Amino acid sequence: MSAQPDATRKQHYEAAKLAKRLRHQVGQAIADFNMIEDGDKVMVCLSGGKDSYTLLDILLSLQAKAPVRFELIAVNLDQKQPGFPEHVLPEYLTGRGVPFHIIEQDTYSTVTRVIPEGKTMCSLCSRLRRGALYQWAANNGISKIALGHHRDDILATFFLNMFYQAQLKAMPPKLRSDDGRHVVIRPLAYSRESDIAEYATQQQFPIIPCNLCGSQENLQRKAVRRMLEDWEKQQPGRSENIFRALGQVSPSQLADRNLFDFAALGAREGSARADARQWLAGSPPDEP
């Protein structure tokens, strides 16, 4: 007779522990990168997916206890995709008492007109969505734009840039937009996708799936995600180590001449003369 109550207590305990962990991670990211300051008006970009719901929920819970005062407003872009359940977000946000705004802009027609059938639509869709959200932020006194990207998004972007663009860069937790008008923050930067998915299930958020493009499963990002998942199964903690490495960069140990002045780096005088004699003799000096 006591098995069921014990199981229920354990579920409640685990749910409370997860919520506490996410709040701590978000609070730590905000503090580490000075994401939110006193008097900020923060626009939370709400797509209807698990990540943005979790972001809004955690920020709401932190808002009441934060040492600084800031406003939150949830903003969604209704892209006029056929079948989009446009009632879901307004009903949810009204029920939570959260200030919100729905931007109505038919980017769906633009994307389907420009992108050939069968090709991935995410890149153009993302640019159009970003432009609409940034413009609304500029017109409405928004000081920070909060996005729901998490640790796994950051890692996937790092490997995508390395594999396909030959660049060592990822998604920074905080950045200034290219036009200099906006500061974008990612408070979930320290949070794992698996934790966010579990939290969203526990909170029973009314998830709206993104099914604009039927070929999403073939995207390069999906392949990189699978690679990271396989690595994590083989060696738990590997993803965490890679993420930590992004914050512990040694420019002198890489090969970017714009990042570190290798040309001005010289050896001690005696050692340099000895190395020069070896080179002239046809025997390159041993590397350190």
Angle at 248 between CA 247 and CA 254, to 5 degrees: 115
User: Is position 45 annotated in a ligand binding site?
Assistant: no
Residues spanned by the domain of 168: 3-213
Q: What is the amino acid identity at position 280?
A: L
Task: Tell whether 58 is covered by a domain.
Answer: yes
User: Is residue 242 included in any domain, yes or no?
Assistant: no
**Residue 193, Cβ neighbours under 10 Å: how many?**
19
Could you tell me if residue 286 is inside a domain? no
In a domain? residue 48: yes
**Beta-sheet pairing, 71-78 with 144-146:** unpaired
How long, in residues, is the chain?
Answer: 288
Is 142 a residue whose pLDDT tops 50? yes
Mean pLDDT of 181-195: 96
Average pLDDT over residues 93-102: 97
Q: Is 213 annotated as belonging to a binding site?
A: yes
Instruction: Confirm whether 287 is domain-assigned.
Output: no
Question: Residues 131-155: what's their mean pLDDT?
Answer: 95
Rg (CA), the chain: 24
For the full predicted model, state whether its pTM sits above 0.75.
Answer: yes
Q: What is the pLDDT of residues 205-258, one digit of tens each?
A: 999 987 655 445 547 888 999 999 999 999 999 999 999 999 999 999 999 999
Task: Report yes or no on 158 lying in a domain.
Answer: yes
CATH code: domain of residue 65? 3.40.50.620
Any residues with CB less than 8 A from the CB of 135 and at least 6 apart, and which? none
The total number of structural domains that make up the chain? 1
pLDDT at 32: 97
Domain-embedded: residue 81? yes
Q: Following DSSP, what letter does each residue of 30-78 receive, concatenated?
A: HHHTT---TT-EEEEE--SSHHHHHHHHHHHHHHTT-SS--EEEEEEEE
Tell me if 70 sits within 8 A of 36, measured CB to CB: yes
User: Tokens 């939110």, residue?
Assistant: 36
Q: Does a structural domain hold residue 186?
A: yes
Average pLDDT rounded to a whole number, residues 108-137? 79
Split at pLDDT 50, 70, 90, the class of 277 is low
Nearest Cα residue to 26 out of 151, 198, 200? 151
Residue 66 Cα distances to 22, 27, 59, angstroms: 15, 9, 10
Identify the sign of the CA torsion 160, 166, 171, 177. negative
